[in-house]
Structure 1
């Protein structure tokens, strides 16, 4: 097989199998799985695949669970054993590093990776927070309210402010979208606090990751290898799984359809893939299946790395055409069932029993089946995996720092931004409402207070001094008033009577 047509994996001496095993670039977007027990060589195989795609000009995204994969950024120093294995395969082993960019959700061992709360969406966020169905419904209502009110959800502070707003207006919102229980809002708030204590707050915000910065090639045309530092991230497995699924979903939604290209536009490796499916609700599993099934036409290859293929649901496993199976041990009944499932997924080779071969594999060996030119799986082949051209083992802290200093995205994501969003808008609204209420209350009370103050300030009019009269003086005044009245009446009668007679 022409080694320039695909990633050279290793050599096989089995009857009926191609002695030179390569994963064809034309079939690489049909996805694949790399499986095997701990310590059997999965990480090295991932490293070989990533560097092989990079050399062909294909960018790669992969997670570094233990830190070993960081060695891909440094040229290898092969020992005599590795050189001898390469010579047996007819391979000239030239030490070479891959163009690497380190990423880290926490910004400690790579450039910070951020996404906004709106980009993550309620479904994946509910997965991160481990919410039940009712709480997920309340979270969906909150996102809808934010959309209707034009509120930007960028970070956790925005989401907290939105949830507080929803709780305070639960009756009005409930009439429009359904009952919003305060207890559910409180449960979501507690889950957010737990996520924040696990370091999840650093993931939400701006500047958000641009997919264009993952799909790059260097000046020589080699694809960029994006290594996500995941040692600390693995302490929050739900965050890890939801983040990688979000990234995969973003690629699916934003990349154009290109059919079956001669080589992929991007290859995505999902290490510890079982974390993606553990306790995953049905809508999430359906979303994963949809993305894996349809993203092939976008020119993206997805490779799941896990201990046992049985960790992957059958609906997803059926989409994975390229398979590399390292050793499995089967001591318990459940392990034996997993071994049988793994062996049954290969096209049988008459030269050996697949299940027995998988148990007998040594470190650096694997049972391999890839898609041929016609898209059909090759018969299972027991192969020795080739040694990598880059370093086996992790890069040092100084080497990692040097790679980051020469990174094409240096300075782009290193400083967080905090523009006006839901938290600031809702705080401003609350302040404006409080101020308006205070101003509305002033005209009703102030005039009354001023009137009372003025009344208290005005001097009271003094009463006229009372006269002091003797009883005789009072009697005389009364007699005179009575006599005057009588005389006046008599005069008027005489005058009026004379006028009538005339």
Structure 2
């Protein structure tokens, strides 16, 4: 439920244990980012669901990842259940009318939603290096490869383009070393092996065309409600580095493509980053600094970023300090680290004299949370112990048949489902190699017959020209038919001169 200026989150508890005071999130501060934390089973997903419903009702598009499949129910009407009706009565939610929401399902694998693809060029060398966990030397080779692709006009669209380019620069290693530094075959081989691993993990689906258009994430329905873009991430979580890199790319693309709008009356888009700790786990300092920079600057593009994770310690302090709207569910406090997390969470709230914040965090019931949002002039409200409202849509997953029906009626149905493979670096390098081979075989214009395997008159020859070796190297490097998949972004954009 949203009025013209706010989203109703729930009702705060009074000293007599009744719930009365409504807790709301002001839409004009929705782009000031937020944090939803709490232990497993304490109600984080439902809190994400009701916030997504509220933004959608206010005409704000939403993007969120469905890590366990539970969030898909937002596409269907809820059903009357005793505990939901009781909760609605407790928080004075009237009328409590069930409704479905305009949902677009996405899936990087193209199985439970429309495929999301982007080009290798859009992903950029920095994010690709992060995705493949390359060493500093290997990352240097990746940067050289992208530089040469730019200079030679080679389009990098899918993984076979990148593999062909790497084989190409390995053959030109001596020439390239004089301009950019050493490109060792060992480094190229290590990158090629990393690409093979990425393919085996399903990454080949992510690179290619048609690439995702950011505008398709920012749709509104005919009734004015914002589209809720739900990314199926249950399978994607098997490769957490890919998941984190993809969402980081998406956030970066939003930063690059959207115009400056300052502080609008409501956000242009709200982005929920579930399992946020995956973004920062083992991340180098430079990458964390870039994330902090993006979070700080993307606010002026009208985009709100909400991190969802179990522990507030999962988010670096530099990022945590920028998250103005907070929903804290229960935390356990058995180990020293858990006790530190409770203290950290309590210290980030504006104190309430009615209760001990640190103690309350360990006593919250399922569906309860400590809530603090930005009030007028952007000042954090005093923390309140809040019973979150029940959702209007279904709690829990939908059936495959229901998902298929929603996808069939989707406004992007048919736009991304069929992959496109146009001429790019692989085909261009293959053509150049063929032309060079033809010239080497006969300068007078005659060509030699090809009997296969390099045989002459039935006898095998062990001799190869440099060009023949290059062609075979390229063919070998793309022999495992790597395909399409995700993308480049602001971090790559920063590396291009930002």
- Deviation per residue, 1:191-222 (Å, 9 max, x gap): 00000000000000000000011100010000
What's 1:13 paired with? 13
Conserved in 2, the CA contact under 8 Å of 1:3 and 1:22? Answer: no
Equivalent-residue separation in structure 2 for 1:342 and 1:420 (angstroms): 53
Instruction: Provide the residue aligned with 1:330 in structure 2.
Output: 333
CA displacement 1:245-282 (0-9 Å, x = unmatched): 11101100110011111100000000000000001112
Q: How does 1:7-406 map to 2 (within 5 A)?
A: 7-14=7-14, 19-91=21-93, 92-406=95-409
Question: Is contact 1:366–1:383 with CA below 8 Å preserved after alignment?
Answer: yes
Structure showing greater relative contact order (alpha-carbon pairs closer than 8 Å, 6 or more residues apart): 2
- Call closer, same or farther: CA 1:398–1:345 in 2, change over 3 Å: same
- Provide Cα deviations, 1:49-85, integer angstroms capped at 9, x if missing partner: 0010000000000000000000000000030121121
Q: Deviations over 1:359-394 (max 9, x none)?
A: 001110000110001200011110101000000000
Task: Tell me by how many angstroms 1:441 deviates.
Answer: 8.1
- Is the 2:28–2:263 contact (alpha carbons within 8 Å) kept by the matching residues of 1? yes
Change (3 A) 1:358 1:3: farther
In 1, Cα distance between equivalents of 2:444 and 2:315: 64
User: Aligned with 1:200: secondary structure?
Assistant: coil
Determine the C-alpha separation between the residues in 2 that align with 1:81 and 1:336. Answer: 31
SS at match of 1:374: helix
Is the CA contact (8 Å cut-off) linking 1:24 and 1:372 kept in structure 2? Answer: yes
Task: Please say which structure displays the higher CA radius of gyration.
Answer: 1
Say which is worse superposed, 210-219 or 13-22, in terms of deviation.
Answer: 13-22
Please give the secondary structure, in 1, of the residue aligned with 2:212: coil
1:374-416, Cα deviation, whole Å (9 max, x unpaired): 2000111101010000000001100000000000000000000
Distance (Å, rounded) in 2 between the aligned partners of 1:269 and 1:23: 15
Contact conserved, 2:39 with 2:310, CA < 8 A, in 1?
yes
- Tell me the distance in 2 between the aligned counterparts of 1:42 and 1:276: 18
Q: 1:180 to 1:18 in 2, by over 3 A?
A: farther
Local SS of the residue matching 1:262: coil
CA contact (8 A) 1:117 1:154 kept: yes
Inter-partner Cα distance in structure 1 for 2:349 and 2:182 = 51
Match of 1:465 in 2: none
How far does residue 283 in structure 1 lie from its aligned partner after superposition? 2.0
Structure-1 separation of matches of 2:420 and 2:108: 15
Task: Name the SS for the 1:248 alignment partner.
Answer: helix
Q: Deviations over 1:88-110 (max 9, x none)?
A: 22212111011000000000000
TM-score, normalised with respect to structure 1: 0.87
Q: Distance in 1 between matches of 2:445 and 2:411?
A: 60
Richer in helix (by share) = 1
- Across the two proteins, how many residue pairs are aligned to each other? 444
For 1:310 and 1:78, the matched residues in 2 are separated by 37
Task: Using the TM superposition, give the Cα deviation of residue 147 of structure 1 relative to its aligned residue in structure 2, in angstroms.
Answer: 0.4
Retained in 2: the 8 A contact 1:14–1:381? Answer: no
Mapped to 2, the partners of 1:390 and 1:44 lie a distance apart of: 10
Structure 1 residue 414 corresponds to structure 2 residue 425: no
Q: Which string of whole-angstrom CA distances, capped at 9 and with x for unpartnered residues, describes residues 460-487 of structure 1?
A: xxxxxxxxxxxxxxxxxxxxxxxxxxxx
Match of 2:263, SS state, is coil
| Partner SS state of residue 202, structure 1 | coil
Aligned-residue CA RMSD in angstroms? Answer: 1.7
Helix, strand or coil: the match of 2:377?
Answer: coil
8 Å CA contact 1:26, 1:263 repeated in 2: yes
Q: Secondary structure at the match of 2:344?
A: helix
**Retained in 1: the 8 A contact 2:138–2:188?**
yes
Structure 1 stretches lacking a partner, 5+ long: 446-502
The CA deviation at 1:18 is 8.2
- Report deviation, 1:330: 1.1
Deviation at 1:133, TM superposition (A): 1.2
Contact 2:2/2:54, CA 8 A, preserved across alignment: no
CA contact (8 A) 2:105 2:229 kept: yes
